[in-house]
Structure formats: structure tokens, C-alpha cells
Amino acid sequence: MDLKKFARYGKFFFSKAPFYTIFYITARCNARCAHCFYFEEIEDAHNRDELSLDEIEKIARNWGEMLILNLAGGEPYLRNDLPEIVKVFKENTGLEICAIPSNGILTDRTLTTVERLLKENPDLFFRFTFSIDGMGEQHDEIRSVPGNFKKVTETVRRVRDLRKHFSNFTLHTNSCFMSQNQDNFMDLVNFVHEDLQVDAINVTYIRGDVKLPASQEALQKEKYAEVINHISHLDHHRFSKHPLSAFILGATLLAREKVLENLSTGLRNFECYAIKKMIVLEDTGAVKVCEMMDQYLGNLRDFDYDINKVVTSKLAETEYKKIQNHECNCTWECAIRTGVIYNPKEYGSILKHALTSGKGPKNGAAPKREQVAELV
């Protein structure tokens, strides 16, 4: 890694504006997932006053430096100006990594946008993630979209083919662990690993007040333990194109173990840097403490589009103190991962996870029961 870059990463420890932004660029969505915790906003999407590109440019100009931007939703590819949104952040914040999670339903539209993003931003690193929660009809049912599985797998395969032409991206899937799929989650993981051959398989444990609460019933954490152990033993050799990727991978694996421990004890086992290092921004300009709490810090439209004014406000300071005092807890993987990345006390564990990942059975076979037992 060149020294200039290294110095820049160091700077993020001290920056006022959050370095990691999760920006729901639209609440419009073409799916209706059982595990969605944003479903009320999605139902109301057409009444929401989305930020315009001009407003987003003002936000980007005032931001300061940003390392990672996660353009989420709703379904982000429904915004026609997605490439322009990326451009204004890249030009104004020195953005390095842009992540775009998607349900993968709009294959052609997604491919056109992805190709454009890769062509226009050779110096920006992309992480394209597509959600797959079950095999075939199970996925379609969870998402309430007939034919969704066929569409998302086609999208993944076509984005994967772009590896021949572009090297500035990684391709991920994300699967939500929930009641409906916990019994056959391993089949899904093995399918994604062997057939779709993505760069990384993400798993999120269902969280929040979801659309179909039955999705959270009778969850077995032993099964979740089995899954995360299995994934950590799969081959991660393709997850290595960004200088920080080994570090982020180690932090991701550690975060999953912390989710499991948190589920077992009910106690927060990580430092959380929501507000200071990581922030959630909604399509209307509203700034949220995090994805898990309903607490808002204000709307950027009322703060001259300046995030620095929002995160240094009295309200933000009060909320941050509560977070530091561990008055809240959750299993949100992104918050845990950011928490360990910013906590030097965790670096030994991150390193251990980075060094031992992908050392397991290459054939995607299920891990041994004893390995699983260690994690529960």
C-alpha cells in the first residue's frame, strides 16, 4: 500500500464527518420482503420528497473526506441518476469504495448502470452486492416477487462476466438468516459458492421490526453458527483487490462471531461509532443515528446540507454519549464491523481472522460439528 494512502486512512480516525455513509437514495422498491425493516417507508415511497441531484451535490461538497459510500434503498438502481450521484461524491470527497446492494430484479437496467459506473470510474473501487435468501421459489416467496430467483441469479452471472473487462469491483451476495431459510441455509451458501462463484458471501442475521414478524420466530443460533463457520472456511482468494480488503475481511469475520456472542448473552460486545464514524442518510435528507434506532438527528435540508453541523449538534453529542455508555445494543453487522475497525484493542483478533480465513475445505463441505460447537 502506498504511504499517501496509508496516511489518508489514518486521518479517518480523527475526521469529524463520518467516513462511512449509508445513503438510502430512494425508498422506492420493486420487492416486498418478509425481513424488510424499512417497509413502511417503502409503501409510502411515492409521497416522499427525495433529494435531487443538485441537493446531493451540495451535501457532497460540504462533507469533507469520505472513504466508503453505501448507496442503498429501496432498490438503488431505480434511481436514474445513480451514476451522477457516485460522481458527485467521488469528485468532492475523495471517495474510494462505493458499495451498492440490490435485489437484482432489474437485470438489464442494473447491467447497463454497473458497466457505466465501472467505465467512468476506473480509480474507484466498487462492491456490488445482490440479495439471495433462498433457493428458487423459497427466495421468490420471501421477497414476494415471482421469478426473483431466476432474475437475481442471471444478474449475478452477468455482473460476474464483467470480470473479463474490469478489475475495480468485487461481487458479493447477501443472504438474510431467518426462520424461513434456517433449515436449508447451507444449501444456499454452497450454491452461491460453487455455482455463482462470487467474491464474498455475506450473511446478515434478521434484525429490526420486520414486515413479517414470523420471520424472526424460533430462530436457532446453532444453525447460524454453523453457517458463519462454514463461510469463514470457504476460499476467499478473490476478495483481495483493494489494499484494505484483508483487513476488512478479518473485521467482517470477527463481526459475525460477535453477532453470535451477542445473541447468546444479550450484551453489547463491541464499541459503536455510529454518528461519529458511520451515519445513515435517508432519501429525504433525514439523518438517522443508525439503522436500528428510530432516533433522527435532523434533516440536512435544515442544516445547509452540511453533515458536519448535524454530527456536532447538541442532540448528536447527547445521542453519542448514550451510545458510548452502551445504552443500546444490536446485532447490525455493519456497526459491529466499524466498531472493531476503529478499536485498536480488536486488531489482534482481526489479524487472526484475516490470516486464517479461507483455510477450510475447498469443496464447500459442511464444517465439522466440533468446529461449530466452539462458536456457540
Report the interface residues with ligand SF4, using CB under 6 A: 29, 31-33, 36, 38, 42, 73-75, 103, 272, 274, 289-290, 292-293, 323, 328-330, 332, 335
Pick between residue 24 and residue 185 the one whose CB is nearest to ligand SF4. Answer: 24
Q: How far is the CB of 135 from ligand SF4 (least distance, A)?
A: 18
Q: Reduce the secondary structure of 106-125 to three states and give it as a string.
A: CHHHHHHHHHHHHHHCCCCE
| Cβ 331 to ligand SF4 shortest distance, Å | 8
Nearer to ligand SF4 by Cβ, of 111 and 293: the residue is 293
Of 284 and 329, which has the nearer Cβ to ligand SF4?
A: 329
Give the chain's count of helices (H) and strands (E).
Answer: 15, 9
Give the cell for residue 229: 463457520
Nearer to ligand SF4, 32 or 48 (CB): 32
CB nearer ligand SF4, residue 37 or residue 247: 37
151 close to 104: Cβ distance less than 8 angstroms = yes
Residue with cell 418478509: 34
The contacts of residue 289 (CB under 8 Å, 6+ apart) are 274, 275, 280, 295, 296, 297, 319, 323
Closest distance to ligand SF4 from the beta carbon of 103 (Å):
4
Q: In the complex, what is the shortest distance from the CB of residue 275 to ligand SF4, in angstroms, rounded to a whole number?
A: 8
Shortest separation between residue 26's beta carbon and ligand SF4, angstroms? 9
Helices 245-265 + 221-232 axis angle, to 10 = 160
Most distant CA pair in the chain, distance? 56
